[in-house]
Amino acid sequence: MTGDAAPSRGVWITLEGGDGAGKTTQAGLLETWLRERGREVVRTREPGGTEVGTLVRDIVLHHRGEVAPRAEALLYAADRAQHVATLVRPALERGAVVVQDRYLDSSVAYQGAGRVLDAGEIRDLSLWATEGALPHLTVLLDLDPSAARARLDADDKPFDRLEAEREDFHARVRAAFLQLAAAEPDRFLVLDATAPAADLAAAVCARVQPLLA
């Protein structure tokens, strides 16, 4: 891990971006590529990567009543604390590659910019919850919100609480992701999510390869 956490033998890769950007597809392609090279892969997501996280995920994404923005932020941080302590750190310590759908950058973008909370406070909350843990690489799949909504509509599945937000919410989220990437260019790889999936996968693998040495 980077940040204040102790060094580990494994590699931690997170995928970020708006809903519909293709994170799940790219995580699957990366997992296959890594396994073909003999690496142990732990595929996970936030929220919901642990038993506790599954309960949190149901609240933050599917609860029918109102969830106050600060309560939402705290729920994500609680999930993140459990996830890193019980799944991510142990996997990295034994040398696995963790491929993760969303991490603290999503909270900064969705709860910070989307819910109009203080982005710095949201980031600090997650860093406190995880003892300063940051991934070695964050892949940001950048997609215009209108194109993302078209993809979600084509899936013909009910929207969760965040997917159902208005376009201006998702525009703020996208801008926040790009600002985060600009502030930490060494950690982020920003890709145009409208590119063919195979081309995106090739770019991701080329960036991951040096981390495996």
Residue 63, domain CATH: 3.40.50.300
Give 54-62 contacts, CB < 8 A, sequence gap 24+: 60/161, 61/160, 61/161, 61/162, 62/160, 62/161
Q: How many C-beta neighbours within 10 Å does residue 58 have?
A: 12
| 170 token code pair | 């998702």
Residue 188 CA to residue 174 CA, distance in Å, equals 14
84 has pLDDT over 60? yes
Residue 32 CA to residue 47 CA, distance in Å, equals 22
CB 126 within 8 A of CB 104: yes
5 has pLDDT over 60? no
Query: What pLDDT digit, counting tens, does each position of 16-29 carry?
Result: 998 889 999 999 99
Residue 15 CA to residue 36 CA, distance in Å, equals 20
* This prediction's pTM: 0.89
Residue 211 CA to residue 29 CA, distance in Å, equals 17
Residue 47 CA to residue 31 CA, distance in Å, equals 19
Using CB atoms within 10 Å of the CB of residue 13, give its burial: 0 to 12 exposed, 13 to 18 middle, 19+ buried.
buried
Strand duo 97-101 + 41-45: pairing: parallel
Find where tokens 């843990």 sit.
133
Q: Say how far residue 98 (Cα) sits from the centre of its chain.
A: 12
Mean of pLDDT values over 94-107: 97
Domain extent, residue 161, equals: 2-212
6 has pLDDT over 50? no
Query: Residue 39: helix, strand or coil by DSSP?
Result: coil
Mean of pLDDT values over 178-187: 97
163 has pLDDT over 60? no
Q: How many C-beta neighbours within 10 Å does residue 122 have?
A: 24
Residue 87 CA to residue 49 CA, distance in Å, equals 8
How many domains, in total, are found in the chain?
1
Residue 82 CA to residue 59 CA, distance in Å, equals 16
Residue 211 CA to residue 204 CA, distance in Å, equals 11
Mean of pLDDT values over 46-68: 86
Mean of pLDDT values over 65-78: 90
